[in-house]
Structure 1
């Protein structure tokens, strides 16, 4: 994630801030200009010279303190790009629902930020039902009886998330039940949106689909049968050698979505490191010394080797720092050579260099 500054006092601010703690000015994010600007706290609309001089107001969801994005008033649109993606939100008269929704929106806004950095099309299904996508944030009692076990999922551009996932206790319980290494709201979003972009970028492109199958396998095999086999018998033997996770070994679609989400993890971590100017020079003598210098914007680099040569030492460093605080590894995964090849496919697809 990019590191931002208050345009009034130059203090460091972060993506979710809606007020500068130093000068008291309001803060708003422009998704078009990828910039946070300071705003007069006594006004409700602002002519923002730091952007384009047009008049802006907050997204309608600002009133719920779940969004700090700006909307051009001339476009006669109350919701920002990220919030137009919401088709269903929780009942907000319940304070617990509002608390969960806030956590969900933090993760979702970070997802949309990243999709825009990749210059991917981000269109709400409420605007374009055929090619868009949307989110349903549901409570369990809103599901039909046959779907009571649903947690998250994607179907034809609709991404469903149970709001219970925003409860860290519930999420950890499910993580233990599923024997997962990693389970976060942002991880859910990255995985599920990967299914949507597979449909959009690969499904109807014969050449890209052929390349996909040569690396991930034939997705035309029965998805339902593959998942049944996975849940009944467990992951494929020696799955660590070819897949980023156990679930990735269940079917090529899930391999794609899991690997896609990890490419987004890696890119986001690298952008954060780049914005903080991170580099490392470990005090060891080894063939691979784990030296690292995050001196590039990962969204603009075309050479995939730079992503890996910097990303692997960076992830190792992050894991080591967490252990120093008595916490689990934030990235408890091994990127094998076959997984690296899959990540490179995604990198080239997004860069248009397949």
Structure 2
């Protein structure tokens, strides 16, 4: 049976209350602009939620995992089997993302979007498999176009479950050996760039592996050039099962007017596709950090994004998003709880 196309209805965020929100921020007991990016973040959150007292409720971080056929060509420091091993580690609570989520109060879920072999011995992994790894993108399309729509539908149902549970902020992490190759190819095709401007060293590959990675992505872009006609086609030709479902989840979250905390290079590639599909998505995106992957800064600039952190991270998993959550809380809390000049009986300095 053919998977029907999935579309999303995403409303733009209104700016009618911007002056009122900004005035509320400016009258806090501080010099104008003294809280820097937190002030812009508070404005964005209050604008999205359209509330006098914005709140973060039941924040949830979803880690999407999938394998990539191109990994067999030695474009990463580890073989594809490590994807499943790390997914099991996530489910058992032993990875960096588990530590950070426990620390900051993120609920964590792990989704198998299509790793090579399902992890049978560990419970708690959500099955949203689109296959057992994508095809090698330098030889064939990563997946059929129908798989993109199927992944979008799965992601929408997942987000809807969390929305119904009261969640209003979601973040996305990923795991998949070879996924920086897919993300770089998606970036190049989406932005009309050459592979050399997008391909980085991932988790720290050698010079020889980098040269091979660059060559294979150039080959993939050339192979699929005629087919890269729209964002969904780019995902089908060059993406990964986890990138597809992250993209769909971002679209679904924006459709439900939820805030989306975007992690690093791979998550930003998914955000790029989501924005290309539905430009209004951009209003709901908060960019957590700038990673060490060389294409990330260029993607952030393209999306007019100023990330909250720059810590030299290159781990993935959603770790940057988890570390940024306390800053989101700080923005909401100063907006709601900090005294105004009139509250404190202090002469205003605005």
TM-score (norm 1): 0.24
TM-score (norm 2): 0.24
Structure with the greater relative contact order (CA < 8 A, sep ≥ 6): 1 or 2?
2
Which is helix-richer, 1 or 2?
2
